[in-house]
Structure 1
C-alpha cells in the first residue's frame, strides 16, 4: 500500500527567510501557486502587506488587481498593487480589515493559495504563532 499524494506540487512564489515560515512553506502541498508570509508587527499595524512578484499570474501592465482573500466561509475584497519596477507587490486597501477581523498577530504565518485566477481568490491558511 502506498501513500496517495498529489501528482503535482506547485512551487512557492517566494522563499521565506524566517525559519518557521520556511518550514510551513516546505510542508504546504497544493497544485495551486502560493506564497508564504511571516507576519511582523508592521504587517498587522500598517495598511499594506508586501507580497512576492506575481509575474506570470497577473499582467504587469495593470497597476492593481482586485482580489478576494478567503478564510473559512468569509471573503474580503483587497486591492493588490502590482509593481512596475520592483519584484514585489502589495496587498493594500482591505488588508488591515482582513488582518484585524481575523486577529492576525506578529509571529503568525500565512499561506496565500491562489485558488482562482479568473476572479482572483487567494485562500488564506493561518498558522498561529507558537509561544
Structure 2
C-alpha cells in the first residue's frame, strides 16, 4: 500500500549511545527550511499520547535534516533501545508525528513500557502493524526499515520541562505538569525550585546544558525577564562559559528574587517567549499552593 503522506523510518542503534542523541531525516519531510535557513525548532507529536516535544533541527547537506537538540527527551520518555524503530510522518510545515515500535513490531508508548498493558503482546503487535500500514503506511516493506537510519540513545530528563537540582516530589511534579500544560510553550519550560541559598546569596541562576540545547540557545546576551500577570520587567544577562557550555542568568536575578518575594520551596517556571530577542516569562508556583508530600 502506498501512503498519501510523506514518511521516513529510522532504526535506533546503540553504536552512538554514548554520544548526543540524534537522527537524520529527509529534508522533504519539513517545509521549515527555506533558502538561507539552516536551523529551526520543530515539533514532534508522539503518536502514543499526543505529547508535543520541541526539537532542534539543523540542515545537513542538500537533502537531509538532523534532529538533535531536545530529541533525547523523546527517546527517554519512550525508553527506546537498540533496534527500536521510529516512523516519522509529516504533519505540516514544522511538525512530525512519530510512531515508536519495538523490535517485535509492538508500539511503544509513554505509559506502556512492555508489561503494564492489558492487551496481549501479539495483540499490540497486530494493532501497531495494522495502524502503521493503514494510517501511517510503511515507507519500506516489513521491518526491513530498521536499516534506513540510526538514532543514538541518551537518557536525560523530562518530556516537556527541564529542571536541575533535587528531583521534584510527587505533589510538586503534579503542580508543575499542570502549569506546563497550561503554558503550552513552543519550547521546553525550565523549572527551578527556590532554595534558601537562592534567597540569601545566589548571584545567578544555573540553567544547565540540556535546557540551552533544547531551546537552541547559541549566544549569550541581554535577557529580558518578565513575570506572569505583572507589567514590570528585569534587565538580566544570559551568560555562557564556553569551556564547559554552562549557561546561567545573572545581573538582575537577585533583584528579581527580592522584588517578587520568592521564598524557599517556591517554584519558578521559565517560559522562553522570544528566542531572537532573548525574552523569558516567569510563572511562579508558591509553596503555599503545593500540598505537602
Normalising by structure 2, report the TM-score: 0.38
2:168 is aligned, of 15, 18, 23, to: 18
Structure 2 matches for 1:6-85, cutoff 5 A? 8=52, 11-14=160-163, 17-19=167-169, 20-27=171-178, 28-29=180-181, 30-33=184-187, 34-45=189-200, 46-53=202-209, 54-55=212-213, 56-59=215-218, 62=219, 64-71=220-227, 72-85=230-243
- TM-score in terms of structure 1 length: 0.79
Regions of 4+ moved over 6 Å: none
Distance 1:23 1:7, change over 3 A: closer
- Which structure: larger Rg? 2
| Count of aligned residue pairs for this structure pair | 123
1:55-111 CA-to-partner distances (Å, cap 9, x unmatched) read: 25211xx4x321111012111111121232436421111101111111111110000
Q: Root-mean-square deviation (CA), in Å?
A: 2.4
Higher relative helix content? 2
Q: Which runs of 5+ in 1 are unaligned?
A: 1-5
Any gaps of 5 or more consecutive residues in structure 2?
1-49, 55-159
Answer 1 or 2: higher relative contact order, Cα 8 Å, separation at least 6.
1
